[in-house]
Each structure stands twice: as structure tokens, then as C-alpha cells.
Structure 1
Amino acid sequence: MSTSEWLQQFAAALPGVDGFDWPWLLLALPLPWLARWLLPARRSTAPALEVPFGDRLGRVTADASARATGGMRWLPWLAWALLCVAAARPQVLGEAVQPPQAGRELMLALDLSGSMSEPDMQLGGRPVDRLTAAKAVLADFLDRRAGDRVGLLVFGRRAYVLTPLTLDRETVRQQLVDSVVGLAGQETAIGDAIGLAVKRLRQRTDVAATDDQPRVLVLLTDGVNTAGLLDPLKAAELAADAGVRVHTIAFGGEGSMSLFGFQLPMPGAGDEIDETTLRRIAEATGGRFFRARDTAELAGIYAEIDRLEPVERPGEAVRPRIERYAWPLGGALALALLAFVRPRWRRA
């Protein structure tokens, strides 16, 4: 058994104490006794007077010292022991409590269809495609999701869950970085993406979760539903029945074409986004519809989503540690006061 374990067992044996925070300080208990035993007595260099009754004089002096202290030489030792116990910080365990944890359960759905390669966005002053801009904004969004459970779903011709709901935001970020246009196909299956997200949000492994807690899906797309088995509006009905709130983001500029190194707008290209259906999906589930035509607008939209009401769920049960060092410290101060007052009181 180690010294630390022995000290903790010693603490558990004390009444009203469950343990010490700094048990190693109890090793200072024998220091005064060791100092008295090991250090040599101080020799006086003053001239000595030899008398034939020195032994009797010594006994008289000792008796006078004992009367002065009232026969309570144990006071300094007990005070030192109480100081060591106070320094070791005795503690007791309080009643178990479950502090609430504020967090959200978010499933992010990202469109990886062929149109996401359209280079009509600006990032850092340079032209980039829509997927690159969306990745940058989503990465910043993930940085602010401390304590949230976040999942990542991508969709094209089919919908796939890359990461289930997790507190490991780094894994979600890495899967986001590895996503490329066409990974899930070139078409757009919005309905299937909503349906899969609803299924995963209902399959939560958090035993503390209840059915009345809201679940959120944030879906970003730049097109219309052109694939999949599930109609988007039917999927919205399923989401509403499951208590899943869907926020939809229509992302994309007015379209552009490259000519001699310049990006020229293409009127009518932005009309390919089905804003009407996306708005109806959001309204049916209690969510909101957003339209982002550039990277700055997209960042503002995710900042707005960041202000969603958090989900409060019970956290892990903990037993708080309550400090009890004040009791032995107060006892040591009382003994010191008694040792100071008692001789004067006896003389009076």
C-alpha cells in the first residue's frame, strides 16, 4: 500500500471526514518531535555558577515551569497536529447533484451535387467554388459548438451520414474537409437527406434525452430536388411529426462564366434554386428559410442559427467536495489563545 493510499484510509477513519485534498501534508506531523530529538541542545557561553545544591535547584526550576504552563505541555503538540490536519484540507462529499448541460443537437446536411463546384464565391479576396466557401463557414460554425452534439450528413444522388451526433467536433471537421463535389453523386436528393437526418436524430444514444427536446437540422443546398425516393415536402411532414426543426439555406450566386480570366455573371443561373420548396420545408417544421448569395451572407446566417435556444439535459451526477479545514484550524487558534492567556490568568 502506498503512502497516499494509507493517508486516505486514515482520513476515511476520521469521523466526519471523507478524505484529504493534500494528504501528503500529514507527513509533517512528527517534524517538531524529530527536530527536538535530532538537533543538539544550544550550549550557553555565559559564565556558570557552581552550587552544591544544583540538582535540587533544577527540580525547583522545573516545578516552577510546570506551574507556569499549568501542566499543559501538550497544548503546542495538539495545536501543531491540528494545523497539519487543516493544511491537508479535510473534505466531505455532499449530496449527489446533476447540473444541467446546455447544448444543442445539430445535424448538418451539406449538398455535394455537381453544381456546388460553381466558382461564383469570394473567399479572402479570391474566387472559389461554392463548396469551398461553405466549408470555410461551416468550420467556423463548428469552432463555436463547444458542448453541442453535431453530426454531418452529405447528399447528392444519395444521402450519407459521415459522422453521427457526437461531441467530437474535430472528427466532424475532418470529415467536412475530406468532402468533395460528387462524393454522393451529381444530382440532388433533398427529400432523402431530410429523411435520413430525421432517422438519425431519432436514434439518439443519450439515455437522458426525452422526446419533447427539440432536434435541429440545418440543410444547405444550391439546387432543386432531382433524385431520391422521398419527396421533400413529405420528408418535411415526417420531420415535423418527429419534432425535428429544419432550417434551410439556399446558397448560390447569380451564376457566372469564366472569360479571359474574369468571372462574368450569368443572368438566370441563380433561378435553379428551388426557394419555394425550401421555404415550405422550413415553415412546416417550425424552422427558418435563409438565402445566401455570397460567403458573407452565409456566415451571417450561421451566426443567426447559432442563437437557437439551447437544449438543456441533465449532466453527469457529481458529488461536490465540501471543505472542512476551518474546524481544525479554529481548534489550533483556540489552543494558541489558551496557551497565551492561561499563565497570565493563573498569575493574576
Structure 2
Amino acid sequence: MLQFLQDGYAGFAWPWFWLAFPLPWVVRWLLPARRTQDDALRVPYGRSVQAIAQRGGRGLPGRAAALAWLVWFLLCAAAARPQQFGDAVTPPVSGRDLMLAVDLSGSMTEPDMELGGAVVDRLTAAKAVLADFLDRREGDRVGLLVFGQRAYAMTPLTRDLQTVRDQLRDAVAGLAGRETAIGDAIALAVRRLRTQQDGQRVLVLLTDGVNSAGVLTPQKAAELAKEEGVRIHTIAFGSDGAMSVFGIPLPLPASSPEDIDEATLREVASRTGGRFYRARDTGELVGIYAELDRLEPVEQPGKAVRPRIERYAWPLAGALAVALLAFVLQGRRR
């Protein structure tokens, strides 16, 4: 018990159960004593029975009564749920609500990226880098949306990053159409983030094209994002025609200014307080997401708390032990 108090007694979760403690005394006081009738049957132990009857059933022998009250006291203590403070812990608090917007337009099938020494298309390279990025966002709430001719939310903001990875892995180019609706993708992300904590709303948008579909222009969508406090980091992803595999240069069609609208992406990022990045290969894309990790920290320490540990098992075990002791003493007395 002393150790229990030293370790941090937290109180009782259900203290009103202590109101039941005087209940046996109240019942004994209110109910009338039983009256015995004349003996109808003579037995050898009749005198003992008569002696008990003469006491009116008003109680037990002193030691037995004390043990009975102790058992009842311990049962009431267990029912009141005594609790103890555990060691202080500092839970992580999510630092960001992060939306990832990935371009699934037809141009993402362009095989101008290198991954593990092999030539792959842009979407495959982006998936690999994003999966690694998600591994470092443990503790944040992350959502995924994809866009092509239209924008679709694949997952809501969630801490279940495995679901986000699975949805990203299953995404295929052309799933949302062959064109590119950058403005609609931004607007959808803003709508998903607007109800979240102010100052922690971030959108990372990756595209390799020019806004060619949708209702909103990227500039108009950026204004909406600015009003809602959503910070947008934009990534223009596509080769510039220079690439090598195992040190062997390969001629590839370069992404022309008409292929990637860098000026618009730069303007969107600037208006919302974000940054614009240009990734010409997988290595640069990895570096960009590493920098985003520094710009958007994963978590910040929360307020230290001491969890409550249930200790009702202790008085319950004590009640059982006392009951067994009373049973043994009664047997020895007989």
C-alpha cells in the first residue's frame, strides 16, 4: 500500500460505490430480529442452535465479524476502481495535415526516368519516391488525391499511411483522364483541408504538364488556397532530354516549355507561401521530398501526460485472501 501511494495514487474512478459500504449495517438495523418457534424436533446440537437464536441473529463472533467487514470493505474498494498514475509520457502531436496531389494524365507514361538502373515511366518513378516520403511522415495525417481530366480524392486525411501507400500503388496513368486539371486538383485539396487546424494545411502537387482541363484555372485555385491558409508546394516533374543508364547516355525527347508550365506552377507556389521545385530525374525528386521533410516537420512534442493504471485487482485479490483465511479459521475452530 505504501508503494502504491509513493508511485502516484490517482483516486477512484467510481467513488460513489463507497456509498454501499454501510449497506450491511443498515439492512441489519432495519430488519427485525427473527423469532424462533417452539422446538418441533429435538437434535443433539439443539442447545447450540438455541444459543444462536437467543442472540437474535444479531451478529457473528468478534473475529469472524471483523473479517467479514474487511472482505466487504475490500470489495467496495475494488468496485470503486482505484487507479494509479503511470510514468509520464509525451505523445507525438501531428505537425501537419498533408495532401498529396499526383498527376495521372497520359504524359505520365513517358519512359524518361531511371530507377534502380532501369528506364521507367514518370509515374513509376514518382510512386517509388512518394512511398519513401510516406515512410518518413509517420505520425502525420496524409491524404491522397489524383488528377487528370478530373480530380479525385483517393484517401481522406488519415494516419493510416499504409492505406495511402496501397492506393498510390494501384493508381495508373489515365485513370482520371488523359488531360490535366491542375486548378480543379488544387480546389479539391483546399476543400479537404479547410476544416483542419489553421496554419498546418499543406498541399504537395506533382505534375508534368500544363493545365488543359477543369473548371478553375490554377491561379484562381491558388487564390482560394491562400484565403483558406493552404500552403502549396509545386513540383514540375519531367526529363530535359539528358539521361544515362549504367553510365551510358540515352537520347530522350526533352520536356519543352509547352510540356510543363513552370511559370504557372511557380506562381501558384509563390501566392500561397509555398515553394516551386523542378525535378528532371529521380535523384532530384528524392532531394525535393527530403527538403520538404525539413520545411514541413513531421511532429512536435505534445504535453506530457501520466496515464491512469487500473488497480482494482489488488483489493479484489485481498478480499479473496481474507475470505479464504476466514474459511480456514472457521474449519480449525470446528
Same fold (TM over 0.5): yes
Alpha-carbon distance, 1:265 to partner: 2.2
Residue 281 of structure 1 pairs with residue 268 of structure 2: yes
Whether the 8 Å contact between 2:94 and 2:141 is mirrored in structure 1 is: no
Q: Please give the per-residue CA displacement for 1:159-190, whole angstroms capped at 9, x wherever unaligned.
A: 00000110000000000000000010000000
Aligned counterpart for 2:179 among listed residues 177, 184, 187? 187
- CA–CA separation in structure 2 for the residues paired with 1:112 and 1:188: 8
Please state if 1:291 is matched with 2:284: no
Cα distance in 1 for partners of 2:300, 2:173 equals 37
Give the CA deviation at 1:105: 1.3
Name the CA distance, whole Å, in 1 between partners of 2:170 and 2:144: 12
Q: 1:310: how far off? A: 3.4
Query: 2: distance between equivalents of 1:176 and 1:98?
Result: 32
Give the match's secondary structure for 1:281: helix
Quick one: which of 127, 151, 167 aligns to 2:159? Answer: 167
Corresponding residue number in structure 2 for 1:303: 290
What TM-score do you get using the length of structure 1 for normalisation? 0.60
Code of the aligned partner of 1:133:
A
Once the two structures are superposed, residues 11-39 of structure 1 have per-residue CA deviations (whole angstroms, 9 ceiling, x without a partner) of 9999x7459xxxxxxxxxxxxxxxxxxxx
Select between 95-104 and 302-311 the one with higher mean Cα deviation: 95-104
Question: Which runs of structure 2 are paired with 1:40-79 in the superposition (5 Å)?
Answer: none
Offset at residue 236 of structure 1 (A): 0.3
Deviations 1:132-172 (A, max 9, x none): 00000000000101111100010000000000110000000
Match of 1:230 in 2: 216
- From the superposition, tell whether residues 290 and 98 of structure 1 become closer, same or farther in structure 2 (CA, over 3 Å): same
Mapped partners of 1:166, 1:268: distance in 2: 35
Question: What residue number does 1:203 align with?
Answer: 195
Letter in 1 for 2:190: V
Distance in 2 (CA, whole Å) between partners of 1:217 and 1:286 is 11
> How far apart, in 1, do the equivalents of 2:255 and 2:179 lie?
20
Pick one of 207, 217, 220 that aligns with 2:203: 217
Q: Residue type matched to 1:308 in 2?
A: L
- 1:241 correspondence with 2:227: yes
User: In structure 1, what residue type is equivalent to 2:132?
Assistant: D
After superposition, the Cα gap between the structure-2 partners of 1:268 and 1:165, relative to the gap in structure 1 and judged at 3 Å, is closer
1:176 equivalent in structure 2: 168
Contact 1:102 1:310 in 2 (8 A): no
Deviation for aligned residue 1:104: 1.7
Paired AA for residue 241 in structure 1: E
- Return 5+ residue gaps in structure 2 as ranges: 12-81, 243-248, 310-334
Secondary structure of the corresponding residue to residue 272 of structure 1: coil
Equivalent residue number for residue 130 of structure 1: 122
Instruction: Give the corresponding residue for 1:266.
Output: 253
TM-superposed CA distance for 1:202, in Å, is 1.1
* 8 Å Cα contact 2:210/2:258 also seen in 1: no
Instruction: Quote the Cα distance in structure 2 between the aligned partners of 1:288 and 1:142.
Output: 19
- Amino acid across the alignment from 1:166: T
> Residues 98, 277 of structure 1: CA spacing in aligned structure 2 closer, same or farther, 3 A cutoff?
same
Matched, 1:120 2:89: no
Residue range with higher mean Cα deviation, 233-242 or 102-111 = 102-111
Shift of 1:263: 5.1
- Amino-acid identity (%): 69
In the other structure, the counterpart of 2:150 is 158
TM-fit CA distance, 1:92:
3.9
CA distance in 2, matches of 1:17, 1:203: 40
Number of residue pairs matched by the alignment? 233
TM-superposed deviation, 1:268:
5.7
